[in-house]
Chains A and B, each alone.
Chain A
């Protein structure tokens, strides 16, 4: 099955700085890579996703890059704000086959005002 690793487990940045979270996956057949933000006591919320036919995707301050050859993908948050503080999870999947999402271990991001 798929194995997703995520680093770092914790990350502290100053407000306004950038944050980068990295994930690797093992199954080359995975073709969909979403990123979720989870606030305390709540379910995960999709913030951005990328499909395997795309190398990069950007949405305002958030961007995701994918390297299929190396089987890794990264989340980039620029101009961080205190409200960006949360736990972020990456995931890998083959949703076209109805498969489950395999989640990374999470990164606790703290943005220091």
Chain B
């Protein structure tokens, strides 16, 4: 089945630094990738939708200058948290959609998530 690899799984960074999270579709091409944020014991909240070769669409309230998204190829999207602060500490999860939409879940597959801790 479709596999989405997300790295790193955990990262600790100092306040003020930037962190890059990668989301790769390993065995399919993904025209669309989604980035979610999940706080402890809460649901997944969509941050942005990225389409290969175009600018990402951000949800209301999400700072595009702080959460930089790049979807440069059909198999890779990156989320960069710039000038991270403790309040950015969260679980970030990506989801990628198979171009062909094959398989269950309409081709959407989730990554394993990245636990970001800003100290």
Residues on A close to B: CB < 8 A?
Answer: 32, 34, 36, 41-46, 49, 89, 93, 95-96, 98, 100-101, 103-106, 108
Contacts and interface: CB of A to CB of B under 8 A. Distances in A.
A40 B66 CA distance: 27
A43 B43 contact: no
Contacts of B107: 95
Interface string B22-51: 000000000010100000011111100100
Contacts of A44: 44, 93, 110
Contacts of B105: 34, 46, 49
A45 B110 contact: yes
A46 B105 CA distance: 7
B104 to A, nearest CB: 6
B67 interface: no
B111 A43 contact: yes
Contacts of A98: 32, 97
Contacts of B45: 103
9 contacts: A41-B115, A42-B112, A43-B111, A43-B112, A44-B93, A49-B105, A95-B97, A100-B34, A103-B43
B42 A100 contact: no
Interface residues of B, number: 25
Given A49-B104, A95-B108, A100-B34, A105 B43 contact: yes
Given A46-B105, A49-B105, A100 B46 contact: yes
Nearest to A96: B106
B113 A32 contact: no
B78 interface: no
A75 B46 CA distance: 23
Contacts of B108: 95, 101
Given A49-B105, A95-B108, A98-B32, A89 B44 contact: yes
A104 B49 contact: no
Nearest to B92: A43
Given A32-B106, A95-B108, A100-B49, A43 B113 contact: yes
Contacts of B49: 100
